[in-house]
Structure 1
Amino acid sequence: MDRQTIALVTGANKGIGYEIAAGLGARGWTVGVGARDDGAREAAVAKLQAAGVDAFGVPLDVTDDASVAAAARLVEEEAGGLDVLVNNAGITGGAPQEPTAVDPTTILRVVDTNVVGVVRVTNALLPLLRRSAHPRIVNMSSSVGSLTRQSTPGGETGPISGAYSPSKTFLNAVTVQYAKELADTDVLVNAGCPGFCATDLNGFRGVRTPEQGSAIALHLATLPDDGPTGGFFEDDGRVPW
């Protein structure tokens, strides 16, 4: 991919999303910084631009149809197209999350952001991606969404979760379905796990840096044309479903 490659990263104003934007920008790409908080988005764009990145802000609330539609129009107007979409925006939903205690409205809110939000954004941007010579979609997931790891005795899969973990399992399933539907196109669609990174999503308890967490997204965003699609990956390779 050349210097004209254009990417949009959702939830890119901080944490892993910001580092993904920075990493793609360091490759000479034009990067849309998607975020719903105006101040945080503008600050992130300014910081990226100061580092030499060709970045522009994209007001984007993935839970709002009108916001997503407006974002798609802005990307086309500002950049003229799109080559890579990184669906990074996500929430945990807070505590409690035990299935017997979690509020059903929390589950709906988490799924609306982490899954339906990905569908909203992907469908809105897909017409632009289809025009690209090397279109890539990267859905930022988590190993806690792996049913294999969740059901393996002694596996390190995080706390019991009735909202966040299942939302990532759902996202993985949706990723597979997109890959199946787009199998006869040039669009490669994959899910990536950044690892347990220190971000405000987990109260900065993670053991990896956001920059380390961005590596899998950068890898999947730059796959060759004969690269995999419909997979779930971390730095060490495939993650079991």
Structure 2
Amino acid sequence: MQDKPVALVTGANKGIGLRIAKDLAAHGLTVLVGSRELENGEAAAKSVAEDARAVRLDVTDRASIAAAAERIRSEFGRLDVLVNNAGISHAGKPGRPLEELAASNIPSVASLDEVRAVFETNVFGVIAVTQAMLPLLREAPAGRIVNLGSDSGSLTLNSDPSFPHRAVFGVAYSPSKTALHAITLAFAIELEPTGIKVNAASPGFTSTDLNNFAGTRTVEQGAREAVRLALIGAEGPTGTLSDEDGPLPW
């Protein structure tokens, strides 16, 4: 077992996940770059740090999750930080304009197959990965779990007619983040006696392929809160949703 803390970031071969991986490496952690395609992960790991390693991890594939957990156990013996970053905004054709994505997400016309696919990655995938990695997190002196949530999934904010993004609260992406927030709280409640802290970070409207690069924030900005929560000490919170400006309502 090595002395350096070990972090696993899912979906870390690009976008916010890659930036989180780089920032955690800069803070002295050995970062495992989770990627559905190992080649993409290996290319990304080279840009993260000398000791960063690629791990094949498809959050919708239980065999791949189990294999990743076994590899981490055999090579490191523990996991200090888990960042559940992997996510999708839709399951349709890549590169669709944001307006088209919003139109396809309207409750009365949305494809149930697409809604299920989004939830499979953004919700069930997070549960599956967290369950598989928990034995390794329990081996760490101070385990941390960070889920990439979103203010677009806040029921409180979207209930306010003045909330600027309210019109795009459809039935796939935003509700999947609402469910992810609930799962974050559920794990936090269960794990509170263990000292493992579980929080959700909202990156804001960040420019990534999830929104066809229509976002207004950089990946550097989008990664900041997740990195902060991954590095919190014993006095830090658990069971929260926040962004750089502080707590957000569920």
**5+ long unaligned stretches in structure 1:** none
Give the drift of 1:160.
3.4
User: What letter is aligned with 1:219?
Assistant: R
User: What letter is aligned with 1:21?
Assistant: A
Aligned to 2:131, which of 123, 129, 150?
Answer: 123
CA distance in 2, matches of 1:58, 1:75: 9
SS of structure 2 residue aligned to 1:183: helix
CA contact (8 A) 1:90 1:114 kept: yes
Structure 1 consecutive aligned stretches of length 4 or more whose deviation exceeds 3 Å:
none
User: What letter is aligned with 2:27?
Assistant: R
User: What letter is aligned with 2:141?
Assistant: A
- 1:27-66 equivalences under 5 Å are 27-49=27-49, 53-66=50-63
Match of 1:111 in 2: 119
Match of 1:141 in 2: 149
CA contact (8 A) 2:187 2:198 kept: yes
Give the drift of 1:3.
6.6
Q: Aligned residues, how many?
A: 237
CA distance in 2, matches of 1:10, 1:202: 19
Give the drift of 1:131.
1.0
**5+ long unaligned stretches in structure 2:** 93-100
CA contact (8 A) 2:77 2:139 kept: no
CA distance in 1, matches of 2:5, 2:56: 20
Matched, 1:201 2:210: yes
CA distance in 2, matches of 1:6, 1:122: 15
User: What letter is aligned with 1:39?
Assistant: E
- 1:151-170 equivalences under 5 Å are 151-157=159-165, 159-170=168-179
User: What letter is aligned with 1:13?
Assistant: N
CA contact (8 A) 1:143 1:157 kept: no
Aligned to 2:192, which of 183, 201, 218?
Answer: 183
SS of structure 1 residue aligned to 2:192: coil
Matched, 1:78 2:75: yes
Match of 2:87 in 1: 90
CA contact (8 A) 1:3 1:29 kept: no
SS of structure 2 residue aligned to 1:155: coil
Deviations 1:32-89 (CA, angstroms, capped at 9, x unpaired): 000102221111012223xxx4200110000011110001011122323110000000
Instruction: Report percent identity of matched pairs.
Output: 50
CA distance in 2, matches of 1:81, 1:216: 24
CA distance in 1, matches of 2:246, 2:183: 20
**TM-score, structure 2 length as denominator?**
0.92
**TM-score, structure 1 length as denominator?**
0.95
User: What letter is aligned with 2:51?
Assistant: D
CA distance in 1, matches of 2:6, 2:85: 16
RMSD over equivalenced CA pairs, Å:
1.3
